[in-house]
Structure 1
Amino acid sequence: MAMTMNGEIQLAASREAVWAKLNDAAVLKVCIPGCEELERIDDQGFRAVAKMKVGPVSARFKGRVTLTDLDPPSSYNIVGEGEGGVAGFAKGSARVNLLERDDGTLVTYQVDAQIGGKLAQLGQRLVNGTAKKLADEFFANFARAL
C-alpha cells in the first residue's frame, strides 16, 4: 500500500539550531514515538529499532535511515526501510526543508511511503491516521526538545 503525507510546523528557533537537532541521534531518539534504539552508523545514516502499534497490529521494526541530498542547514532527504516480522515492512522517503522566518524556522516535509504485510491489510484510512498521529507526536516532542 502506498501513501503520501505532507505537513509543516513553525518552530521558535534558528534554522541552524533546528538543523543541528534534526541530525542529533540523542534528540531524535526521544522525539520519535516508540523509538527504542537510534544509533548513528556513519555521517549519513542511522540504525533504528522502534515499537509501533497500528490498530490491532503491534510490531518492533528494525531498520536503517539514510540522509541524502544534504544542503545544510536548508534541506535533506530521509530514506528509510524497516522490517517488522509478520507485521510487515515499511519503506519510504521524506523531503525536509527548513525555511527561515522572522520568528524562527518553518519546517516542511513531504513523505512517500510503502507498507506491506499485515499492516497493509488494515486499510488506508487507519494507516494514514496513525501515520499523521505519529508525525504530529514527533514534531510536538521535537518542539519541546528545542
Structure 2
Amino acid sequence: MKLSDSCTIDADVATVWTGLLDAEVLKACVPGCTEMVGSPSEGFEATVVQKVGPVKATFKGAVTISDVVEPETLTISGEGKGGAAGFAKGGADVRLEAAGDTTILHYNVDAKVGGKLAQLGSRIIDGFAKKMAGQFFENFSQTVGAPAPDGSDEATNEKKKSWLKSLVG
C-alpha cells in the first residue's frame, strides 16, 4: 500500500523537525500508542493497540530514523508484530518545506501487512491506513502547531507548553 500526501502545520520548520524526533510528541500523535521510548539516533520502541475491522491487536515494534538531512528530510521505518493478528511494516519519506510562518510536511508512505490483517482485503487496509495517517498528522499539527487564534483549546495549549518546556528546560 502506498500513500502520498501533505499537510500544513502552523509552526516553523525547526519546531516541526524537533517534534518529529521527540518520543513524547510521537506517542501523543500516533493513534493507539501506549508506549514510545528511545531516541532518534538509537531508534524507538513502540506499543500500539489498534482494531482493524474485526481484528484487534497490540503491536510491539521498532522504529528507526535514517537518511537525515536536518531540517529538511528524513526516512522513518518501522516494523511491528501483533501476535496472531499478523505484522505491519513500512516506511515514510518525510520532507519539510518552509511556507512563511508555517511548514508544509510532505510524506510518501509504503506499508505492508501480513497474517490475519492481510486477509481483510486491500480496501479495508488502505482505508484504515489513510485514516491512521490523517489522524497522526492532525494530532501532530495540533501538538506542535500554534494555538487556536481564540485560545479556546486550553488542553491543547497546555500540552504544547509542556512539550516546549521539556525542550528548553
Q: For this structure pair, what is the TM-score category when the shorter chain's length is used for normalisation?
A: over 0.9
Equivalent in the alignment of 1:72:
70
Q: Shift in Å at residue 42 of structure 1?
A: 5.9
- Is 1:88 aligned to 2:100, yes or no? no
**8 Å CA contact retained: 2:94, 2:107:** yes
Give 1:75's aligned amino acid. Answer: T
* Corresponding residue of 1:18: 16
> Is the Cα–Cα contact under 8 Å of residues 40 and 65 in structure 2 kept in the other structure?
no
Higher helix share: 2
Pair member with larger Rg: 2
% identity of equivalent residues: 49
Superposition pairs for residues 134-145 of structure 1, below 5 Å?
134-145=132-143
Q: TM-score, normalised by structure 2?
A: 0.83
Question: Aligned pair in 2 of structure 1 residues 96, 42: CA closer, same or farther (>3 Å)?
Answer: closer
Q: Is the 8 A contact 1:91 1:114 kept in 2?
A: yes
Counterpart-to-counterpart distance in 1, 2:39 and 2:82: 21
Structure 1 residues 44 and 9: CA distance shift in structure 2, 3 A: farther
In structure 1, the residue corresponding to 2:79 is in which secondary structure?
Answer: strand
The normalised TM-score by structure 1 is: 0.95
Which residues of 2 match residues 21-32 of structure 1 at below 5 A? 21-32=19-30
Q: Over residues 49-94 of structure 1, what are the superposed CA-to-partner deviations in whole Å (9 max), with x where a residue is unaligned? A: 0001110000000000000001111010011101000000011111
Q: Distance in 2 between matches of 1:39 and 1:118?
A: 27
> Structure 1 residue 140: deviation in Å?
1.0
State how far apart, in whole Å, the 2-side matches of 1:91 and 1:115 are: 6
Q: Which structure has the highest strand share of the two?
A: 1
CA contact (8 A) 2:59 2:82 kept: yes
Q: Which structure has the higher relative contact order (CA within 8 Å, separation 6+)?
A: 1
Report the counterpart of residue 123 of structure 1 in structure 2: 121
In structure 2, do the counterparts of structure 1 residues 74 and 42 end up closer, same or farther at CA, with 3 Å as the change threshold?
Answer: closer
Count how many residue pairs are aligned between Structure 1 and Structure 2: 144
Q: How does 1:48-59 map to 2 (within 5 A)?
A: 48-59=46-57
